[in-house]
Structures are given as C-alpha cells and as structure tokens.
C-alpha cells in the first residue's frame, strides 16, 4: 500500500478518536442538565406540598372561625332562652340551640380530623424539603464530577487537535485535500476498507476494475457508490481478482 494511503488511514483513526472524545463531552454536558433536572423536580414537589399545606391551613382556620361563630350564637341564644316570654318562644330557642349544637359538634369533628391531616401534610413538606436538599447535594456532586470529565475531555481534544495539525503538515495535499473534503460530508468518515470485494463504508460491491486499480495503488481510488477513499482491509488478498481485473480493462 502507498505510504500516503497508510498516513490517511492513520489520520482517519485520529479523527475517529477525536470524534469519540467530542461525543463523550456532549454526553457529559447532557448529563449535567439531567442532574439538575432531578433537583428541579424535587423543588417543584416541595412547592406543591407547601402550597397544599398552606391552603389546607387556611381551610382549617375558616372551620375554626365557624366554630367560634357557632359558640357565640349558642351563648346568645342561651341568654335569650332564660328571658323567653312564652313557652312557644322558649321551645323555638331551644330548637335553634339544638340545631346549632349539632353544627358545633360537626365543626369540632372536622377540626379534629383536620389536625391529623395537617400533621401528615407538614411531615410531607418536611420530607420534600429533605429530598430536595439531598437531590441538590447529589446534583452538585454529580455536576462536579461531570465537569471534571468535561475538562479532561477538553484537554484531550486540545492535545489531539495539536497532534492532528502537526500530522497533516506531513501529508501531501494531493491526498489530504480529498480526505478533508470527504470528511466534511456525511458521517465524517472519509475512508472505507475494501473487504470481500465490498466497500465497508456503504456495503456495496466493488467492481473488479475498482479492485484492480486499488491493488495497483498508483492513485486514490474512491467507491463509486459512497465516494469514500478505498483501502484494502488488513489480510485481504485479492491478487487473483486484481490480475483478472487488469486483464479485463
């Protein structure tokens, strides 16, 4: 194989490593956002529980207000009961008092139940706050470790880029330029191995003529289907077909 082609294969390996590092960096950046989302969800849950407990407290205050009002009415009616001017008036007051006492008893039951509920709601708020604090702590730690990973990837990307720049200086433009042009297209892989008469870049069969030209190794041969620069896969011995191709052409 021509030395230039070997160098291009080496360049493609370098570019592959670079691409993997960049992918890793992107993944880590995404994970930072995810780590923060978990804490944000706990914050939302705490806000919801706090709002719920506040609304409930308000409803309970109202019920306690109802109870006070009922007690006031009962007290007032009991005074009136003692000064009733007739039996009819007396029994009317008595009837009203009975009704109000039933209401009062219902209000007292409600308030007792509400006390139980408010306790469990407050416990929920406390648990939510605890979970938020844990999520924030975990998120921060995760972020720190992810940021360290990103810094490491950045340093390696920087070093690879320098290595690449130095390496491309040694390449002949006649080979480097088509490589760079192809690299900027599609998936960024400018070269493809030929294995079993097939281009490994696009899985299309290569013609005997293409393989024969590839075996001669005089110039850059590209795949007619995907356009990638072809090279013989390691251990590939197509001497027979190459000779046949040469005879045909």
Task: Judge whether 11 and 168 are in contact, CB under 8 Å.
Answer: yes
Measured between alpha carbons, how far is 16 from 119 in angstroms, rounded to an integer? 60
> With binding defined as CB under 5 A, does residue 201 bind Zn ion?
yes
Nearest distance, CB of residue 155 and Zn ion, angstroms: 35
> With binding defined as CB under 5 A, does residue 226 bind Zn ion?
yes
- Comparing CB distances to Zn ion, the nearer of 51 and 204 is 204
- Comparing CB distances to Zn ion, the nearer of 199 and 232 is 199
DSSP string, 188-221: S--EEEEETTEETTT-PBPPHHHHHHHHHTSS--
- Comparing CB distances to Zn ion, the nearer of 129 and 198 is 198
Nearest of 193, 192, 229, 232 to residue 212 by alpha carbon: 232
Q: Which of residues 74-103 bind Zn ion (CB under 5 A)?
A: none
Measured between alpha carbons, how far is 40 from 36 in angstroms, rounded to an integer? 6
> With binding defined as CB under 5 A, does residue 202 bind Zn ion?
yes
Token pair, residue 101, equals: 């006492």
The residue from 103, 225, 241, 246 that contacts Zn ion (CB under 5 A) is 225
> With binding defined as CB under 5 A, does residue 199 bind Zn ion?
yes
Task: Judge whether 228 and 8 are in contact, CB under 8 Å.
Answer: no
> With binding defined as CB under 5 A, does residue 139 bind Zn ion?
no
Q: By CB under 5 A, which span of 71-79, 135-143, 160-168, 192-200 interacts with Zn ion?
A: 192-200
Token pair, residue 184, equals: 């900027």
Q: Which residues bind Zn ion (CB under 5 A)?
A: 199, 201-202, 223, 225-226
């Amino acid at each position: 194989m021509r030395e230039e082609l070997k160098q291009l294969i080496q360049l493609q390996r370098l570019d592959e490593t670079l691409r993997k590092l960049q992918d890793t960096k992107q993944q880590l950046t995404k994970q930072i956002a995810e780590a923060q989302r978990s804490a944000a969800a706990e914050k939302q849950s705490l806000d919801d529980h706090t709002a719920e407990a506040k609304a409930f407290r308000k409803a309970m205050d109202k019920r306690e207000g109802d109870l006070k009002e009922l007690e006031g009415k009962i007290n007032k009616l009991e005074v009136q009961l003692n000064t009733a001017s007739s039996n009819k008036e007396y029994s009317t007051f008595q009837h009203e008092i009975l009704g109000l006492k039933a209401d009062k008893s219902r209000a007292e039951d409600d308030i007792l139940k509400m006390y139980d509920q408010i306790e469990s709601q407050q416990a929920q708020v406390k648990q939510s706050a605890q979970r938020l604090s844990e999520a924030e702590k975990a998120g921060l730690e995760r972020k720190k470790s992810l940021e360290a990973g990103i810094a490491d990837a950045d340093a390696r990307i920087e070093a690879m880029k320098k290595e690449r720049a130095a390496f491309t200086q040694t390449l002949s433009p006649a080979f480097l330029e088509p490589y760079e042009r192809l690299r900027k297209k599609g998936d960024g892989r400018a070269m493809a191995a030929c294995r079993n008469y097939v281009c490994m870049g696009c899985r299309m069969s290569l013609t005997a003529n293409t393989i024969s030209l590839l075996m001669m190794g005089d110039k850059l041969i590209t795949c007619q289907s995907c356009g990638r620069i072809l090279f013989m896969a390691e251990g590939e011995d197509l001497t027979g077909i190459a000779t046949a191709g040469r005879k045909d052409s």
